Amino acid sequence: MNLKLSLAIDGGGGGDAAAAVAKKSKVVGGGAVVVDGVGSSAICGGDRGSRVRDRMVKKAEEFDHENGMAATSSDGGGGGGGGMELVRLLLSAVAAGEAGDARAAAAALREVDRRASCRGGGDPAQRVAACYAAALAPRLAAGLRPARSSPAAPAAARAEQFLAYTMFYQASPFYQFAHFTANQAIVEAFESGGRRRLHVVDFDVSYGFQWPSLIQSLSDAAAAATSSSSHDDDDNGGGCGDGPVSLRITGFGASADELRETEARLRRFAAGCPNLRFEFEGILNNGSNTRHDCTRIDDDATVVVNLVFPASSREACAATRMAYINSLNPSMVFLIEKHDGGGGLTGGDNTTTGRSASLLPRFAANLRYFAAVFDSLHECLPADSAERLAIERDHLGREIADAVASLDHQHRRRHGGGGGGGDHAAASWNWKAAMEGAGLDGVKLSSRTVSQAKLLLKMKSGCGGGGFRVVEGDGGMAMSLAWRDMALATATLWRRRRRRRRCR
C-alpha cells in the first residue's frame, strides 16, 4: 500500500476562520512587540547594578560558547539587532530572573525590545528574539512565579491560530514530515497485521491534519483490493481484504470545541472516500483527570498509538499515560519528539539540559530550536509576507510562550517550588526510557519510510533551498528532520518486546 502524499486541508473553522482571513491585513499590520510588565522598571544603576549585569552577561557568554549558540542564526549578527548580542541579552534576562534580580532582567528585556523586531524588516534572529521577549516579560516581572491559568481563547483568536497553523503546515515541511512519516509506519503496521480494522489512538489530535492522507490511502488500497479480488477470488488484498476497511481514531484534544471541529473536518473528508468505514472518538485531555479507561478497543483491530510531539515537559500524568498505552497492547507505537530542550530530546547533550539545576541550559536549548525554525521559515517565505508574520505571531509565538511557561513550571517542580512539590520524574519525562521500561523495543524504520521522507523534502525543495535534511541514526532506528546542522525532530518506532524462550 502506498501512502498518499497529499494535503487535504479544508477551512474547517467556519465563519470564525473566514473572519480571521478577512481581517488579516489589519492584524498583520500591528505595531512592534510591546514588552508588558517591565516598561516602568528601573534600569540597573550604580556599582551593584553594574556588577549584577556583568555577572549575568559573563554567565551567558560562557554558556553560549560551550553550547554553540553562534550557529543559531544565518544572519551572522548583521542588521540592527546583532544575533549573538540578542542571544546574550535573552540569556542574561533569564539568568537575572533566576537570581531574583528583576531590575537586571527588565533592563535586558528592554534592550532586546529596542533591538529586535517582528516586523517585515527584521531578520530571523530579531524576530525570534522579539517573540521570546514578549513571552519572558510577564513571567520575569512576576519573579518566575506560577502563572494563573489563562481563560480559553475567544473564537476570533482560535480562528487566527487555526489559520496560522494551516499556513505553516503548507509553507514548511516540518509538520508534514512528522505526519507522513507516522502514517507510513501505521500503514505498514496495518498491512502486516492482516486485519481489516485499524484503530489509531492519537494523544494530540489537534486539528486532525495528519489523518486525511491515511484515510485516502486506506480507501484507495481497499478499492484496489476489491477490484483485484473480483478477478481473483483467492486474492485477499494484502491486509485490506475484500470490501471496506474500518478506521477508528481516538483523539485526545485540549478543548471540546476543537475536538468537535476536528471530528466534523475528518468526517467530511472521509465521506468522499469509498470502501472505508470511519469513526472518530474525541476525548478531552484534562491532565491527571483524563478518562483513559473510556476508550473502546476492538479485539479484531490492529491498534497503533500515535505520539507526535508529546508535551514531555508538561506531562504531570506521563506515567499514567504510559500505563494506558501499555494496557492497549498496541501493535506499534510511533513517537516523534522535538529537540526543543523541554525534556527527553534536546539539541545537544541530554545530561546538560535534562538534570541541570539551572533553567538557563534548557532555555538555551529551546532558543536554539526556535531560532532554527525561524531561520528555516526565512527561506520559505519573504520577510514582509503577511503569511509569515501571522505564522510567527499566532503560531510560533504562541508555541514560544507555551515553552517558556512550561520550562518555568518544570524548573519550579525540580526545586519543589509549587505545582506538585518537585516531582522530578514528571518534570523530566523521558519517553525513550519509558518505552523500554514498558517492555517495548525500538525497531528499524523501513526503507519505504525513509524514502518517503526524502521524497517529501524533494517535493518541498522550494522551501528552504535544500536546507532541510533527513538524517538517519541509531542504526536505522531513528530518523531526524534537520535544518542545516540542527536536528529539529526525531522519529522512532516501538513494538512489543518478544519474550525469548528459555533453552532447556
Classify domain 170-346+429-496 at the CATH topology level. Answer: Rossmann fold (3.40.50)
What is the pLDDT, as a whole number, of residue 279?
Answer: 97
Q: Report the candidate in 437, 414, 407 with the shortest Cα–Cα distance to residue 313.
A: 407
Buried b or exposed e, range 91-121, using 16+ CB within 10 angstroms: bbbbbbbbeebbbbbbbbbbbbbebbbbbee
Other beta carbons within 10 Å of 31: 7
DSSP per residue, 76-96: TT-TTT-HHHHHHHHHHHHHH
Pairing state between β 478-483 and 486-496: antiparallel
Q: Report the candidate in 93, 72, 89, 69 with the shortest Cα–Cα distance to residue 81.
A: 89
- pLDDT 10s per residue in the chain (504 long)? 667 666 655 555 544 443 443 443 333 333 222 222 223 232 233 454 455 445 455 545 554 554 444 444 444 444 455 788 999 999 999 999 989 899 999 999 999 999 997 666 689 999 999 999 999 999 887 765 555 555 567 778 889 999 999 999 999 999 999 999 999 999 999 999 888 999 999 999 999 999 999 999 999 988 887 766 655 555 554 444 567 899 999 999 989 999 999 999 999 999 999 999 999 999 998 765 566 666 778 889 999 999 999 865 445 567 788 888 988 999 999 999 999 876 545 444 444 444 556 788 999 999 999 999 999 999 899 999 999 999 999 999 999 999 998 876 665 655 555 444 433 333 456 888 889 888 899 999 999 999 999 999 999 887 766 799 999 999 999 999 999 999 999 999 999 887 655 555
Q: Which three cell numbers stand for residue 274?
A: 469509498
What is the pLDDT, as a whole number, of residue 229?
Answer: 60
Question: In sequence order, what are the residues at sequence separation of 6 or more whose Cβ sits closer than 8 angstroms to the Cβ of residue 132?
Answer: 90, 112, 367, 370, 400, 404
Other beta carbons within 10 Å of 392: 26
Helices within 331-465 (DSSP H only): 350-354, 360-380, 386-391, 397-414, 424-427, 431-437, 447-459
**Dihedral (Cα; 3, 8, 9, 12), 10-degree rounding:** -110
DSSP per residue, 290-342: ---TT----TTSEEEEEEES--GGG-TTHHHHHHHHHHH--SEEEEEEE-SSS
What is the pLDDT, as a whole number, of residue 126?
Answer: 94
The kind and range of the H/E element at 58 are helix 46-66
DSSP per residue, 132-167: HHHHHHHHHHTTSPPPPPPPPPPHHHHHHHHHHHHH
**Distance (Å, whole) CA 449 – CA 176:** 13
What is the pLDDT, as a whole number, of residue 139?
Answer: 86
Task: Give residue limits of the domains in the chain.
Answer: 27-145+350-414, 170-346+429-496
